[in-house]
Amino acid sequence: MKKKLPIALTIAGSDSGGGAGIQADLKTFAAIGVHGTSAITCLTAQNPKSVIAIQPCTPDILRKQIEAVFAELRPAAIKTGMLFSAELVEVAAELNGLIVDPVMIATSGAKLIDDAAIIAIKKRLLPRARLVTPNLQEAEVLVGTQIKSENDLRSAARRVHETFGCAALVKGGHLNGVREAIDFFYDGHTELMLTAPLIRGVSLHGTGCTYSAAITAYLALGHSLPNAVTRAKDFITQAIAQRVRVAKHDVLNSFWSRPSSGAIQNPKSKIANG
């Protein structure tokens, strides 16, 4: 009997540098053991240092990509990344149960989404989502307040759920004055505080894409949402800890679990139930 792989779909932008977006998602899907499919929202000219140009797809071609995937390769779990415009958000919002990585600002600081798209994400996409995974800056945009402490992170996760109805994973990797990378998950019933060693002095491209793709992959494999989030936290922690060098840049190692990547040297993340 041939092994049957579950299918995951990513609806996101293409990163010509290979570190984020569609490319990061497909690497993560493959590393975890699901078949990755994709619907590209934007072509970008970028590298780990900067985003040079963005060319969005039309809503029609995005919809046709999604329809083509569903016709023969129906996904068990779906995530979104950079949607860029309100029109593209509307296409994604035709689907239910998405894992939404609300990509707004690149690691380099470049803005990747317009204001109308942010409004559409809030009004149209998140109420239909299963989970949203904002980083610190994105969570501040979603809740309208600054996040400066662990308590603020926890409150933000609860407020996102209360406001939009979906589960929230608010990531605090860029929180000042902490010794660990802290994330809070809340789905209305289960609250988790996930922590992992904070690796200082490292700037990596595509961590948010990889984290949300890992959650999507574990969901496609049949894990519950809290369990998928927990496993994904360990996955991204190791991808960072066992990063590799490409040209003059550090790059996430999505294939850290393979024998050629070496033994796992870092402890797993810790989980606290709220």
Q: Let me know if residue 128 belongs to a domain.
A: yes
Rounded to whole angstroms, how far apart are CA atoms 109 and 217? 28
pLDDT at 194: 96
Range of the domain at 248: 7-273
Nearest to 11 by CA among 119, 140, 116, 103: 103
d(CA 74, CA 157): 31
- Classified as helix, coil or strand, 84 is coil
- 149 within 8 A of 180, measured Cβ to Cβ: no
Global pTM reads 0.92
Asked, for residue 217, whether it belongs to a domain, the answer is yes
For residue 1, being part of any structural domain is answered with no
pLDDT digits (tens, 9 = 90+) for 25-70: 999 999 999 999 999 999 999 888 888 999 999 999 999 999 999 9
Q: At what angle do helices 225-241 and 207-220 cross, to 10 degrees?
A: 140
Element (H, E) at 56: strand 51-56
Looking at the structure of the chain, the number of domains it has is 1
Q: What is the CATH number of the domain that holds 227?
A: 3.40.1190.20
CA dist 258 and 139 (Å) reads 34
Whether the predicted pLDDT of 155 surpasses 50: yes
Is residue 73 predicted with pLDDT exceeding 50?
A: yes
Question: Where do the H-state alpha helices sit in the chain?
Answer: 21-32, 59-72, 86-92, 115-120, 136-143, 150-164, 207-220, 225-241
**Considering the domain boundaries, does residue 63 fall inside one?**
yes
**Are the CB atoms for 223 and 214 separated by under 8 Å?**
no
Check residue 106 and give its pLDDT.
Answer: 57
Rounded CA separation 124/119 (Å):
8
**In-domain check, residue 2:** no
Give the pLDDT confidence score for residue 262 in this predicted structure: 40
CA distance 191 to 200: 27
